Structure 1
């Protein structure tokens, strides 16, 4: 009965549908833009300084290297060929202390993002991942937000079309129920029971004190169960003035910033840390958890595709930025898909 009930809940809530199903009605629109551009990868000129316009498979180093150093966390790039003694030396030389966070240099949907609070856990991660990854200090700022920004290349000012707060999936203790009981009642965690069981194995029977907050996943991504709160009413000229200069500096015309800050006021004063910039492949995630109907969300997605197409067309016609070739793009996407499958598998295996 529970399985049937969960299936019915998924069917009734479009936000729980598979990605391909959500976007299926927009397939003809993609082909229309491809025909107009005479290029299947019609978005590829949109962000000239990001590989494949930041659509998929791009690394974080490429993004961080274009930002002012004060706007992103101190970062160590670790090759899997390094011995763990060499990794420890890198951490010591940079003056980093635990807890740290680690994540793949080429990531996807928060997969393999881990909070590492001991040398032992870092060693496990290093020895099992087999991929280049980043070590960064854990940014403790209390707020994580997303800002969706775009700017036409011939315009000095851009548009912030989406602004939201992201809250990591968590439960609160009540002094009576075990962690497992709380997980099975959580509106999102109940769909990820196997993952929750493995990740929190040693805590499942613990009864949390009343009011104590327990984080179930430290990646504030929608697919990792994060909760979004729409902050659209807080968009103003002061917020826009933060991102226009970054767009001009980096030639990032379209995408979503994921940021940490102490407050919205401090963010608007330019005090924040960029965790990531997602380019042409970024989803306008402000439609989620915001009472959008599926049709309403599709309208938002279609509008952003129109903007993305127009930015790419302008850069192609006026700034000499080429469209990626059909075969070239397919090879890139095939490699990115294969890499994503590897991340999915490793995320299930590396449980720290």
Structure 2
């Protein structure tokens, strides 16, 4: 009951459909105006479904500048484990490294692999193509929401966050189990975290030392967001204008990346892009930033208006929205895919 009341009082903990319930009519209005239920698909024409859901990281990385993202290879589930080992070794990877589904969401099946046994278990359970990616040791993770109208060379940064994965800080006394149980966000994912850290639950974390409970800096994985809106300036715009114009076809979305420092990012150096999220990207700067639900809705509606206008401009250029049945079948397939990944996520 206590956790239920806590979630009810904090809109950020509500289910997705509930957070968006009161503004859904506006989305439907855009569908009616455009004459298409999938009006947003022309927004990023070189991403499947406009990058709304179910797009692969493979296609996203292929459209980013070389060297702007971590070293990555792709593993098919049909490969034998021996073939996987050989491919990884020939590609120059060493433990530890990151694995995650090519088509994934919300940090599902995102893992840090430190030894062969973990990789073997992951590969044997994984039902879909996944990627092996170099572990990025840059200390700071950022999220940048950026859009650019198709007829313009300069874009707009609407959101700029620093993201930190969920962690506990040791006191030199309590075990990791106790620290997890006391953490205000971890308690909402207690079963999952206890399973992930079952071999370390008796560990006493040294006083003042951080222990990361997950490496995925997603809101639903308990990450903490620090709003850096005051740091948005011309330097940052120049970096992302140059980056965005490389593909020429990314017009609306969010870049998640890691960098050595804020200063280096603004100088356009020492950063690596982890993901680019297209038309389905949330303006996540409304979370952990003091927005009440009404203010968050106002900000989200501003972004929806931009998404509609960008899609309409591309539509006028001949980039048509997906037909209804094509989009419907695609979403049903994506739904099954994510359900299967969630099932496996609980096993590995």
TM exceeding 0.5: yes
Q: CA deviation at 1:205?
A: 2.2
Q: Is the 8 A contact 2:161 2:225 kept in 1?
A: yes
How much does 1:342 deviate?
A: 1.1
Give the C-alpha shift of residue 10 in structure 1.
Answer: 0.5
Who is 1:143 aligned against? 140
Q: Aligned ranges for residues 102-117 of structure 1 at < 5 Å?
A: 102-117=99-114
Q: Is the 8 A contact 2:43 2:279 kept in 1?
A: yes
Q: Could you say which residue in structure 2 is the equivalent of 1:37? A: 34
Q: CA deviation at 1:147?
A: 0.3
Q: Which residue among 163, 166, 187 is the counterpart of 1:169?
A: 166
Q: 1:85 aligns with which of 75, 82, 86?
A: 82
Q: Return the alpha-carbon distance in structure 1 between the equivalents of residues 226 and 63 of structure 2.
A: 29
Deviation readout 1:98-156 (Å, 9 max, x if unpaired): 11000001011110000001112111111111210000111111001100000111111
DSSP-derived class of the 1:219 partner: coil
CA contact (8 A) 2:65 2:246 kept: no
Question: Counterpart in 1 of 2:19?
Answer: 22
Aligned equivalent of 1:193: 190
Match of 2:154 among 154, 157, 173: 157
**C-alpha displacement at 1:209, in angstroms?**
1.6
Paired residue total: 346
- Cα distance, 1:245 vs structure 2: 2.2
Runs (4+) off by over 3 Å: none
Is the CA contact (8 Å cut-off) linking 2:108 and 2:342 kept in structure 1? yes
Unaligned runs of 5+ in 2: none
Alpha-carbon contact 1:98-1:137 (below 8 Å) kept? no
| Cα offsets for 1:50-74 (capped at 9, x unmatched) | 1111000000010000111210111
- State the partner residue of 2:291: 292
Answer whether contact 2:74 2:132 (CA < 8 A) is retained. yes
Q: Deviations over 1:7-38 (max 9, x none)?
A: 11111000000000000112111111011100
Deviation of 1:324 (Å): 0.8
2:8 to 11, 16, 19: 11
TM value normalised by structure 2: 0.98
The Cα offsets for residues 289-342 of structure 1, whole Å up to 9 and x where unpaired, read as: 00100011111111100000000000011x211111111111111111111111
**CA distance, structure 1, for counterparts of residue 171 and residue 222 of structure 2:** 21
Residue pair 2:138, 2:260 contacting (<8 A) in 1 also: yes
1:280 and 2:279 are equivalent in the alignment: yes
Q: 2:179 aligns with which of 166, 179, 182?
A: 182
